[in-house]
Amino acid sequence: MIELGQYNHLSVARDTEVGIFLQDEEEQVVLLPGKFIPEGGLEVGDFIDVFVYKDNEGRDIATTQKSKITVDSFALLEVRSVDKFGAFLEMGLDKDLFVPFMEQNKKMQVGEKHVVFMYIDAMTDRLAGSAKLEQFLENEAIDLVEGQT
C-alpha cells in the first residue's frame, strides 16, 4: 500500500512523457514527475525510495526530494507564507505543509520557526500540520529505574 506522507520503496511500472509511474506490491500506482527522475534514469522493474504527497489537484505524487517531516512525527519548520486560511511551512519539498489557524497556538508569522506534528486531515485526505502538540503526545506512567535502557 502506498502511504501518503511517508517514504515508499516502489518499483518502476512504466515510463510516460510526464514522468514515471511507480507501483507497490499491490500494483497501486503513483506518478514520479519527470523533474524528479534521478540522473541516469530508471528502467521498468527498478526500485526507488520516494516521498508521497498530494499535489494542488489532490492527486498522489511521488518525489525524490527529502522531506523534513513525515506523517505522525514532529519537526521544527520555518513559516514560508501566511494566507487567510493558515500558514505554510517549508518542509523540504516544492509543496509546503499547511497549518490551519485552528491548529496554531498563536498566529504564525513568516520567518518564524515552529515545532509541528504532521497528520493526514480526515476531511481533505491531505497532509497538514498542527502546533497544538499536546493532543499527539502520550503521557503514560512507565516503570523505569535509573540507568535502565
pLDDT digits (tens, 9 = 90+) for 38-60: 998 899 999 999 999 999 899 99
Q: What is the pLDDT of residue 80?
A: 98
pTM: 0.87
The Cα–Cα gap between 33 and 72 comes to 26
Q: Give me the amino acid identity at 46.
A: D
Angle at 97 between CA 65 and CA 33, to 5 degrees: 35
Which has the closest alpha carbon to 72: 118, 31, 115? 118
The Cα–Cα gap between 49 and 109 comes to 33
Looking at 5-109, which runs of residues are DSSP E strands? Answer: 7-15, 19-23, 29-33, 47-54, 60-63, 74-82, 86-90, 97-100
CB 104 within 8 A of CB 87: yes
The Cα–Cα gap between 114 and 75 comes to 8
The Cα–Cα gap between 32 and 13 comes to 11
Q: For residue range 108-136, list pLDDT tens digits in order.
A: 999 999 999 999 999 999 999 999 998 89
